[in-house]
């Protein structure tokens, strides 16, 4: 028996394509290696935790969790409140995490319950649900904050007296986590503490896969009916996976925003879901299979493309907007291709199974007629 | 019995998290401290500004004030400890004073008048709340941008 895993060329095609794009664009961009590495390391620290939050729902067979934006919204609400209370630096981030967790849990339970009612259509349901919850978020942030929820500072509040400004400054928290224990190697700043947190998260995910709950999730992901027959509470397991993902997305969003140093109040969360999913897919993940390796490869390739594409576009066409359009086009295209590939594979598997069944029935019929 | 133990552990965990949040509330409270090197009158007595004041916080010079100037420093927590290097008159040697004082939790911005502080006056005399005045830009109505379907550079 050959136990070696078969190399999946189709799966590897997306990372290979991105490696080629990056290899062409890097020299054209004219960026120095030091600057490029600096940017990539910064973005790795900024985004990896968020993308790791997508792994658990994939394990539970729920596909790409577009509902991760719910966790991002919870984190933003928590950060706005913490900002208004003037809790600064790392304590501010810890307090924001503490506030965001219960909000994320509630949103996760809500999301999980809805997704249980839409089995097989989790991705589109979670995508549309993120729009729905975005509406509620806007209601809270645009109308209730300042009117019902007390907001004291005019630097956060809109001049009309209620609602939050388009941008909330997080200057008091900016890169506080990244700068703690940071080291400089040949001009490249390494945010050691952020990487330690990400590494701990990776270890937790590896450990979690081996736990009873992790095994249950994998069983549910492979076949819900078989898992149910084996005594696993399928619905509960799926809800837990979404809750964990939402909570992690919230924590990841806090790490992301502390690096940025400001909150784009009404748009940050909607962008986050898209580019995290795109980065994971660029790393070679698919809708039903993703690993920690895919996360890091995805962050490096996707963000290298993000950094170099506008400059390369400017060099080739004389217009940096071409590079800008290109990276947006590629980001959405990679998600579309992944979804098409997933659906095609699913249909192929389904038709292969029905062909097998038909062949088995035919042979049974021919046996009966021979008798 | 098992369920009871589970409940106890859960309650303890929640209490622990709440306690952590309270600790963060206290130790993470940020203040902006404004140091005024301005002449003033208090209790019928006038106090002159110094020629130069340098404010050192955590071994870092955070403000250098000439006469009638204001400097600022950020503070986390409720206790301010700074070293003031004061030059009384031009050409004189500066003398250092380490000062430590509690900052009221409720105040975001605190103005400290250095001449009054150095004269040994009470906190009510040298400390006052900073009340920001909204700038015209802050008062301008802001158009809220809700939908943005493109990926910007800031990812």
Does any domain span residue B3? no
A326 near B CB under 8 A: no
Q: Name the residue range of residue A199's domain.
A: 9-357
Residue from the list A160, A172, A303 with its beta carbon closest to the beta carbon of B141:
A160
Separation in Å, CA of B18 to nearest CA in chain A:
8
Separation in Å, CA of B147 to nearest CA in chain A:
7
Residue from the list B145, B153, B155 with its beta carbon closest to the beta carbon of A266:
B145
Helix (H, G, I), strand (E, B) or coil at A85: coil
Residue closest to A253 by CA, chosen among A274, A271, A269, A275: A269
The DSSP secondary-structure symbol of A66 reads T
Q: In the numeric block, which tokens belong to residue B98? A: 């380490």
Residue from the list B23, B30, B148 with its beta carbon closest to the beta carbon of A267:
B148
What is the CA angle A351-A355-A361, rounded to 5?
145
A163 near B CB under 8 A: yes
A65 touches A57 (CB < 8 A) = yes
What is the CA angle A8-A64-A256, rounded to 5?
110
Write out the H or E segment, with its range, that includes residue A183.
Answer: strand A183-185
B29 near A CB under 8 A: yes
**Long-range contacts made by residues A230-235, C-beta under 8 angstroms, separation at least 24?**
A235/A116
The DSSP secondary-structure symbol of B28 reads T
Q: Tell me how far apart the alpha carbons of residues A246 and A52 are, in angstroms, rounded to a whole number.
A: 11
Is B35 a residue whose pLDDT tops 90? yes
Put simply, the answer to whether A165 touches B74 (Cβ < 8 Å) is: no
Residue from the list B20, B74, B146 with its beta carbon closest to the beta carbon of A266:
B146
Among residues 67-126 of chain B, which lie with CB inside 8 Å of chain A? 74, 76, 108
Best residue in B10, B24, B107, B131 for a mutation probing chain A (most A CBs within 10 Å): B24
Residues 6 or more apart whose CB falls under 8 angstroms from that of B40 comprise: B46, B47, B113, B115, B116
Overall average pLDDT of the B42-59 stretch: 91
Domains in chain B: how many in total?
1
A320 near B CB under 8 A: no
Q: What is the pairing mode between strands B95-102 and B79-87?
A: antiparallel
B31 near A CB under 8 A: yes
- Closest residue in B to A276 (Cα) is B155
A329 near B CB under 8 A: no
Does any domain span residue B70? yes
Q: Tell me how far apart the alpha carbons of residues B63 and B52 are, in angstroms, rounded to a whole number.
A: 11
Q: Tell me how far apart the alpha carbons of residues A90 and A223 are, in angstroms, rounded to a whole number.
A: 43
Put simply, the answer to whether A328 touches B150 (Cβ < 8 Å) is: yes
Strands, sheet with B109-113, edge to edge from the N-terminal-most edge strand: B69-76, B30-37, B109-113, B127-129
Does any domain span residue B4? no
Write out the H or E segment, with its range, that includes residue B26.
Answer: helix B2-27
B55 touches B73 (CB < 8 A) = yes
Put simply, the answer to whether B151 touches A274 (Cβ < 8 Å) is: yes
Residue from the list A88, A306, A331 with its beta carbon closest to the beta carbon of B30:
A88
Please give the pLDDT value at position B151.
52
Best residue in B19, B21, B28, B141 for a mutation probing chain A (most A CBs within 10 Å): B28
Does any domain span residue A362? no
Residue from the list B138, B151, B153 with its beta carbon closest to the beta carbon of A159:
B138
Give the mean pLDDT of chain B.
Answer: 88
Q: What is the pairing mode between strands B30-37 and B109-113?
A: parallel
Q: In the numeric block, which tokens belong to residue B54? A: 């340098």
Residue from the list A91, A166, A267 with its beta carbon closest to the beta carbon of B142:
A166
Q: At what angle do helices A68-84 and A234-260 cross, to 10 degrees?
A: 50
- Closest residue in B to A274 (Cα) is B151
CATH for A171:
1.10.3470
Among residues 34-73 of chain B, which lie with CB inside 8 Å of chain A? none
CATH for B122:
2.60.40
Domains in chain A: how many in total?
1
Distances from the Cα of A51 to the Cαs of A81, A143, A277, A332, in angstroms? 25, 31, 7, 16
Q: Name the residue range of residue B49's domain.
A: 30-133
Q: Tell me how far apart the alpha carbons of residues A166 and A157 are, in angstroms, rounded to a whole number.
A: 9
The number of beta carbons lying within 10 Å of the beta carbon of residue B134 is 10
Write out the H or E segment, with its range, that includes residue B4.
Answer: helix B2-27
Please give the pLDDT value at position A9.
67
Residues 6 or more apart whose CB falls under 8 angstroms from that of A146 comprise: A157, A158, A161, A162, A163, A164
A336: exposed, middle or buried (Cβ count in 10 Å: 0-12, 13-18, 19+): exposed
Q: Tell me how far apart the alpha carbons of residues A289 and B119 are, in angstroms, rounded to a whole number.
A: 71
Q: In the numeric block, which tokens belong to residue A148? A: 């019902």
- Closest residue in A to B131 (Cα) is A153
Put simply, the answer to whether B151 touches A331 (Cβ < 8 Å) is: yes
Does any domain span residue B9? no
Tell me which chain B residues have a C-beta less than 8 angstroms from the C-beta of A98: 17, 20-21, 24
Overall average pLDDT of the B11-33 stretch: 96
- Closest residue in A to B20 (Cα) is A95
From first to last of its 371 residues, what are the pLDDT tens digits of chain A? 445 556 666 677 888 888 988 898 899 888 999 999 999 999 999 999 999 999 999 999 999 999 999 999 999 999 999 999 999 999 999 999 999 999 999 999 999 999 999 998 999 999 999 999 999 999 999 999 999 999 999 889 999 989 999 999 999 999 999 999 999 999 899 999 999 999 999 999 999 999 999 999 999 999 999 999 999 999 999 999 999 999 999 999 999 999 999 999 999 998 888 889 989 988 988 888 899 999 999 999 999 988 888 888 888 888 777 777 877 777 778 778 777 877 787 788 888 888 888 888 888 888 888 77
Helix (H, G, I), strand (E, B) or coil at A358: helix
Put simply, the answer to whether A260 touches B154 (Cβ < 8 Å) is: yes
Q: What is the DSSP string of B92-131?
A: SPPEEEEEEEE--TT-SEEEEEHHHHHTT--HHHHEEE--
Q: What is the pairing mode between strands A262-264 and A167-169?
A: antiparallel
Please give the pLDDT value at position B152.
55
Q: Where are the alpha helices (DSSP H) in chain A?
A: 9-29, 33-52, 55-59, 68-84, 89-116, 122-138, 176-179, 192-210, 212-222, 224-229, 234-260, 268-282, 292-317, 320-370
Q: Tell me how far apart the alpha carbons of residues A245 and A195 are, in angstroms, rounded to a whole number.
A: 19
Does any domain span residue B144? no
Separation in Å, CA of B54 to nearest CA in chain A:
23
A100 near B CB under 8 A: no
Tell me which chain A residues have a C-beta less than 8 angstroms from the C-beta of B21: 95, 98-99
Overall average pLDDT of the B28-37 stretch: 95
Please give the pLDDT value at position B148.
52
Separation in Å, CA of A346 to nearest CA in chain B:
30
Residue from the list B28, B132, B151 with its beta carbon closest to the beta carbon of A89:
B28
Residue from the list A43, A86, A328 with its beta carbon closest to the beta carbon of B108:
A86
Q: Tell me how far apart the alpha carbons of residues A254 and B82 are, in angstroms, rounded to a whole number.
A: 32
- Closest residue in B to A260 (Cα) is B154
Residue closest to A10 by CA, chosen among A305, A289, A212, A332: A289
Q: In the numeric block, which tokens belong to residue B52? A: 């130069």
Q: What is the DSSP string of A199-223?
A: HHHHHHHHHHHHSHHHHHHHHHHH-
Q: Tell me how far apart the alpha carbons of residues A188 and A184 are, in angstroms, rounded to a whole number.
A: 5
Please give the pLDDT value at position A1.
44
């Amino acid at each position: 028996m050959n136990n070696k895993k078969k190399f999946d060329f189709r799966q590897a095609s997306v990372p290979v394509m991105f490696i080629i794009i990056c290899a062409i664009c890097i020299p054209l961009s004219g960026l120095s290696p030091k600057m490029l590495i600096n940017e990539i390391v910064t973005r790795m620290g900024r985004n990896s935790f968020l993308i790791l939050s997508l792994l658990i729902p994939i394990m539970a067979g729920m596909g790409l969790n577009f509902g991760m934006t719910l966790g991002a919204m919870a984190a933003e609400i928590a950060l706005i409140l913490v900002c208004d209370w003037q809790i600064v630096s790392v304590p501010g981030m810890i307090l924001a995490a503490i506030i965001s967790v219960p909000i994320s849990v509630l949103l996760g339970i809500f999301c999980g319950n809805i997704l249980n009612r839409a089995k097989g259509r989790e991705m589109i349901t979670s995508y549309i649900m993120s729009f729905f919850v975005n509406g509620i978020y806007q209601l809270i942030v645009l109308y209730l904050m300042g009117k019902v929820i007390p907001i004291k500072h005019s630097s956060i509040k809109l001049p009309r007296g209620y609602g939050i400004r388009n941008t909330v400054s997080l200057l008091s928290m900016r890169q506080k986590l990244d700068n703690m224990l940071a080291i400089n190697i040949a001009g490249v700043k390494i945010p050691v503490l952020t990487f330690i947190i990400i590494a701990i998260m990776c270890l937790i995910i590896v450990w979690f896969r081996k736990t009873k709950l992790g095994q249950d999730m994998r069983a549910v992901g492979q076949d819900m009916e078989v898992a149910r027959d084996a005594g696993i509470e399928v619905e509960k397991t799926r809800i837990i996976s979404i809750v964990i993902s939402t909570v992690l997305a919230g924590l990841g969003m806090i790490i992301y925003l502390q690096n940025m140093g400001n909150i784009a109040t009404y748009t940050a969360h909607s962008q986050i879901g898209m580019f995290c999913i795109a980065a994971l897919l660029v790393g070679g993940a698919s809708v039903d299979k993703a690993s920690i390796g895919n996360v890091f490869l995805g962050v490096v390739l996707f963000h290298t493309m993000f950094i170099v594409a506008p400059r390369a576009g400017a060099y080739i066409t004389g217009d940096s907007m071409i590079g800008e359009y290109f990276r947006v086009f590629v980001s959405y295209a990679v998600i579309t291709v992944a979804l098409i590939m997933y659906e095609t594979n699913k249909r192929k598997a389904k038709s292969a199974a029905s062909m097998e069944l038909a062949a088995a029935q035919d042979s049974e019929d021919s046996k009966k007629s021979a008798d | 019995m098992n369920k009871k133990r589970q409940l106890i552990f859960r309650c303890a965990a929640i209490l622990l998290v709440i306690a952590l949040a309270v600790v963060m509330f206290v130790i993470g409270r940020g203040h902006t401290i404004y140091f005024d090197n301005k002449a003033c009158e208090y209790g019928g007595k006038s106090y002159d500004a110094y020629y130069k004041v340098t404010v050192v916080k955590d071994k870092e010079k955070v403000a250098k004030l000439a006469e009638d100037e204001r400097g600022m420093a950020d503070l986390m927590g409720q206790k301010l400890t700074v070293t003031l290097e004061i030059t009384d008159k031009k050409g004189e040697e500066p003398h250092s004073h380490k000062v430590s004082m509690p900052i009221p939790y409720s105040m975001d911005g605190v103005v400290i008048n250095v001449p009054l502080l150095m004269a040994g006056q009470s906190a009510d005399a040298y400390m006052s709340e900073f009340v920001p005045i909204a700038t015209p830009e802050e008062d301008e109505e802001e158009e809220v941008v809700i939908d943005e379907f493109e990926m910007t550079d800031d990812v």
